[in-house]
Amino acid sequence: MTPNTIRALPKAELHRHLDGSIRLETVVDIATRHNLDLGVSTEEELAGKARITEPMKDLQTVLDSFATIQQVLCGYEAIERISFENVEDAYRDGIQLIELRFAPPFISAGKQLGNDEIIEAVLDGITRGMNRYPIQVGLIGILVRSMDLEINRLAAADLNRYAGSRHQNADRICGFDLADAEDRTDPEDFLPMVREAREAGLGITIHSGENTSAAAVRRTLDLFAPQRIGHGIKSWGDEELLQRIRDQEVMLEVCPTSNWLTSSVGSLEEHPLPRLYRNGVPVSINSDDPNLFGIDLVHEYQLCASLYGFTEADFMSINRQTAEHSFLPREIRAEVLRRHFPTTG
């Protein structure tokens, strides 16, 4: 399968961080326009400072590298532009349905920037993208576990409020997530926020089992009852847990290159994705933070084809399941499935 063949395949993606998918040229341009000191002046210098292409010592080291990029999420205009470009880049990957996730607490940190401005900019950016390109876009709001609980509570309330508002395409806010520091925080602190998001009609996906353990995934299922798990790769090897995931049809949002670069797996060759898939665990293939890692979703498909022997039929099956597990409204999912991922026979 050539890159062009793979790019032409219809795809669905559920795990891409909007605030980790900013083009380097956009970072430099916004920094120049707003007189932001990033400590670099060219795209080449920025790539050396902010792009990760070799495994880091741990996940936290990768999270720390976001600091440079985070500065350019500095206001409505910048965030709207970045959101639009996320949609444009997804379309160029051959994606028909995508859920982009963003974290208001992360974006606003250290700035005079309110959640309303952030959420409206993201909504308006994806709306502009969908008006230009034939792609369906959903949004997942993220809380950052390592940040102040009150900041997270406010962000959760504002996301729920906008999801039920009359703002254009507000129904595209369809999911809720917890990310960062799974091993250093008490999950029960976030239980009320997850319950409120579910009551607001949002789907629940939780970052879990990326750099932790199968026990962490089990605790996530017990406490939050999510429909999906962000990463979840540490589930492999625990057959009782895998059977529970299969029985409950919980989808694992798997990000192979990301897992390698964050040292969550020792190598791409030993990644559990092909074993999970071939053992009937619902999985989706995702890029996580493509511009941070210098990849795109086509790269991940090439990797799956060359290392794991995935075929076009495998990709079609995975993408059909991925679209079915989307949190977007039922009628949108049904149309995407009919047009791009029909069942055979």
Which backbone phi and psi does 327 adopt, to 5 degrees? -90, 0
**Distance between CA atoms of 29 and 43, rounded to whole angstroms?**
10
What SS3 state is found at 204?
Answer: strand
Any catalytic annotation for residue 210? yes
Which residue bears the tokens 């009609």?
A: 201
Phi then psi dihedrals of residue 90, to 5 deg: -65, -45
Residue holding tokens 């002046």? 41
Long-range CB pairs of 305-310 (<8 Å, 24+ gap) are 305/1, 305/6, 307/268, 307/269, 307/274, 308/273, 308/274, 309/274, 310/274, 310/277
CA distance 134 to 129: 9
Which entry of 210, 240, 312, 324 is annotated as an active-site residue?
Answer: 210
Q: What residues are annotated to the active site?
A: 210
